[in-house]
Chain A
């Protein structure tokens, strides 16, 4: 054992103590509560997505003539294919939900404020990447709804002045849905976006590690006890337990509500009802409320506002002299998000 340790230390001059110091920075007590661990949840689900995605990619064939059949084969014929596909589908839903919950926590506690503005923006990038990866993944099934969802999505991007037409072409690999579209979506979904997200997650955690977790002091916390606890093993155990609970939840969802498959995509027949994945309901309803270009530009503006919120918040606080202005704006924002999403879900058109 000593020989091995010596061999490594000669090449990587890091002592056990250094390693412990690097990985075991004390974390604030509030992280003992699981609802403050929502940053780790999407990260865990991202790993689940990578793992199940690799297994699905073994059998998936990204071409309009074979995609639907290969998904059918995965679902009906491949051993545990239905389970892997179900877990992949539900993990995507929970991942985006947990990102939103994580973002809500950050927002309402003002954890994006100086010096954490950059990490907020990286988080926003991760949210946008998750939405795009969700959109491309939904399209890969090549069923009627996903096909028309992708077509409508591309047409929406077309309404953006000047760059819209290029964005659409870049997305579809042509002026309309064609043989290059599915392979393009697949490459984006399975290679480009995961790679970008991995890099962003690494930077996100790196910055978190440098800046440390935001310190909160709750009124009901005992004053005479230590305010921190060890990352390893204490917090890691919390995350592991979260992971196990999530795995059970995912397995139950995948078994009870398995990922189904609708009718095969038919470019000649427009379905009566076209709906994107649920996380786009809010923007879809927004687009239906306003006319084309305005709706798209206003959506883009909202994303821009969210992106630069740390600076806007600073400006607002300065202007209004009210430190909690963002909390009230946030409440309105969440109600808007929930309201538009439920509205879109309840109506047919």
Chain B
């Protein structure tokens, strides 16, 4: 074989080897970038969902859905559309879609097929119960005060919108406001326009005697489904007042509570997003519970803004102390795993809270076996009811704090926080509640809320300013604790609540209800006579007049003394002058006499 031939063989084989090396390196680089969360993600489309992805990827068929899904962990792990949207025949909202039985609304019960532990934790949480605001004070505000529970007639046409006809939907404020965070009661649209909800369907629930694995979540009254309006493709219509909705305490047709997509936005279910405070900020902001703004003001929020890029938000488990320590987000303190608990994430954000600052008067967050707050005051009875104590929950939170703060620091913070809450409770919340109760008890205000000025005043005090103050203290945001908080609580209490209560008593007295008026005045006076309110009494007019007279007298006395001193000084000066002149004259006389002698 010629040397030239060998050279060609070497050249060709060398090139082949180099080409294979380039290919292998390219594949390895792509894989490495995927691992580091930088490259395009490998998507596994399960066979059952292939046609869904193909069809929904087309421009006319919501391609955003498949785009979002493509970036999800679900897509990488081969969890497709049908796996989540799959429904059983007999499910309230099931319909056949290109051969597959599916449902539009995916509920926590659906997610629990794979995420059982997360479902159970969430089901125990206060988040899951957020839909229970129906018929609460907040809901009355939106459904009655801001709107109307019954549709009402419009009082004129809407120019440019001839399509807006018929009665006005008075629940609009609740639908777009309260329910979008708290959750709606999902309803199927009846042929008569009414909503068919969980209340009518009465689904088989977990724990019910007659519930089986097969009928779990299915309606006990399937005959009602015949009344549901359907599209021309046979899809049950959802009541537009209840859907779309991703409120955290949504009341679903299958009886489950909540919506996982409240935090884990569909269809990418990004853990990265759920770890960021902006995600919680959809609901936890505003005048009544500005947790997001409070966090932003705190050192934690400041550090987060600065260090966000270094916090490994894309890491798989995102364990505090292992994956990051730069700053905590909402998720870090309330939900995420950390190095002291083996990285265990909880889906019950109340697991580490020791106070509930939601009600007018803050309460220690002792909970029973169902996760409900124990309100029993008798210590013996209370200890029997409590399953998880507030201090146990605090200890869990402290494990998070201790990643960056010493025990002394953490203890010091909790002392300040406890003192703050107790001061708010004892000085304003309990007295305010006493006054409001007494006025109601004496029949000087009506029971329905928000129909009298003092009810708005009291609501502002605890629901807005009081919560702002307490949340500010709980998350170390001094401006919210003080200026947006306690300062306004005090102003509302002294300048509005007390005067309005006194005015109510005065009116009652004029109307001949002396006994009732006295009862209210006694409560107010007893409160104001307490040492912590004494400063207010010191500002009475006579006291001010006395003080002013005292000051005037002191000023006059000082002025008089000053004049006397000046007169004395003038007299002394005149005498000195006179003496000087006498001496001078005597000297001159003496000199003259001596000259004459000489």
A residues with CB within 8 A of B: 35, 76, 93, 97, 100-101, 104-105, 108-109, 143-145, 216-220, 257, 260-264, 273, 275, 278, 281, 323-324, 327, 330-331, 334-335, 337-338, 341-342, 345-346
Contacts and interface: CB of A to CB of B under 8 A. Distances in A.
Contact-size category for B:
20 to 34
Contacts, number: 87
Contact of B3 (A143, A217, A262, A341): A217
Contacts of A323: 1
A334 B3 contact: no
B36 A104 contact: no
- Which among A143, A262, A273, A275 has the greatest number of chain B C-beta atoms within 10 A? A262
Binding site of A, secondary structure by majority: helix, strand, loop or mixed?
Answer: helix
B555 interface: no
A334 B13 contact: yes
A93 B25 contact: yes
A327 B13 CA distance: 11
A261 B36 contact: yes
A266 to B, nearest CB: 9
Contacts of B32: 260, 262
Nearest to B14: A101
A327 B3 contact: no
Interface stretch (B16-24, B60-68, B408-416): B16-24
B25 A278 contact: yes
A100 B24 CA distance: 15
Interface in B233-276: none
Interface of B is mostly: helix
A219 B13 contact: no
A265 to B, nearest CB: 12
Interface in B548-595: none
Given A216-B3, A338-B17, A264 B322 contact: yes
Contacts of A220: 4
Contact of B18 (A97, A273, A335): A97
Nearest to A263: B316
B33 interface: yes
Interface of B: 1-4, 6-7, 9-11, 13-14, 16-18, 20-21, 23-25, 27-29, 31-33, 35-36, 38, 310, 315-316, 322
Given A109-B10, A327-B1, A346-B27, 13 more contacts: A143-B35, A216-B3, A219-B4, A220-B4, A263-B316, A264-B322, A278-B21, A278-B28, A281-B24, A327-B6, A335-B16, A341-B20, A345-B23
A227 to B, nearest CB: 14
Given A216-B3, A345-B23, A346-B27, A337 B17 contact: yes
Q: Lowest 5 A-B CB distances belong to which pairs?
A: A262-B35, A260-B36, A338-B20, A345-B24, A324-B1
A263 B28 contact: no
Given A260-B38, A263-B315, A324-B1, A104 B28 contact: no
Contacts of A101: 14, 17-18
Contacts of A342: 20, 23-24
A256 to B, nearest CB: 10
B38 A327 contact: no
B91 to A, nearest CB: 33
A327 B12 CA distance: 13
B367 to A, nearest CB: 32
A334 B315 CA distance: 40
A346 B10 CA distance: 25
B182 to A, nearest CB: 37
B522 to A, nearest CB: 67
A327 B28 contact: no
Contacts of A76: 310
Most buried by A among B2, B24, B25, B310: B24
A342 B16 CA distance: 11
A218 B322 CA distance: 63
Contacts of B310: 76
A145 B17 contact: no
A104 B14 contact: yes
Contact of B9 (A144, A218, A327, A345): A327
Contacts of B17: 97, 100-101, 104, 334, 337-338
Nearest to B316: A263
Contact of B13 (A104, A218, A257, A278): A104
A330 B14 CA distance: 12
Contacts of A257: 25, 29
A330 B12 CA distance: 13
A93 B25 CA distance: 9
B11 A35 contact: yes
A334 B7 CA distance: 15
Nearest to B23: A342
A331 B17 CA distance: 11
12 contacts: A93-B21, A101-B14, A104-B14, A108-B10, A220-B4, A263-B316, A273-B31, A275-B28, A331-B9, A334-B17, A338-B16, A342-B23
